Amino acid sequence: MLRKRPDVLDLLVPLRRYARSLTRDSAQADDLVHDTLVRALERQGTLRPGTNLRTWLMTVLHNAFIDDQRRRKVEARYADALGHIVEEATPPAQEGHVRLAQVREAFGRLPAEQREALHLVTIEGLAYQEAADVLGIPIGTLMSRLGRARAALRNIESGGGTRQTEAEDAPARATPRLRVVDGGAGPARAS
């Protein structure tokens, strides 16, 4: 009588049972079996003919469990060390909230076109050309808007007060001062 070679599906129950024994948690055991099957598929080329499939899969599962335990220990040490650093270096949350509100307010006071340009480059991380393409403007115009926006934020930061928006600036620009020159007959007069 020929003995049937075990199929991976036939081995799911013993794999899961062993995983539960190792993890002591049903959900973690399912994750471990999943990881084991993924690793087995990735490394199926290393399976030599005549190798007992059950033994090989149990070995892969065991190694996946050990790797996960090591990773968790490293992550726990890292989180613990990071927690100490954060506790020592974190300023009171109130200051952070106030500062964030101030920055948000200053950003909101910028003219829309400057705010859009600054947002795309600094927050979304777009390259200058990409941001210019999104806004449908030449890159020089984008650079100009960025420069004006950054200058306005620096001015607000340094306590220079608020910059007028372009709409508030418009009346001053609408009446430019002209210098009228008499066709060379007399001195220039201001109008």
pLDDT per position in the chain (191 positions), as tens? 445 555 778 889 999 999 999 888 999 999 999 999 999 989 888 888 888 888 889 989 999 999 999 999 988 888 887 776 766 665 567 777 887 888 888 888 889 899 889 888 888 888 999 889 888 999 999 999 999 999 988 887 777 654 444 444 444 444 444 454 555 444 444 44
pTM for this entry: 0.41
For residue 146, give its domain range.
93-163
Helices 93-109 + 139-157 axis angle, to 10: 130
How many domains is the chain built from? 2
**CATH code for the domain of 33:** 1.10.1740.10
Residues 19 and 85 in one domain: yes
Instruction: Using the 3D structure, point to which of 39, 62, 89 is the last residue of a domain.
Output: 89
Q: How far apart are CA 22 and CA 18, in angstroms?
A: 6
**CATH code for the domain of 125:** 1.10.10.10
Q: Is residue 139 part of a domain?
A: yes
Which of 102, 101, 33, 98 lies closest to 68 in space, CA to CA?
33
- For the chain, counts of helices (H) and of strands (E): 8, 2
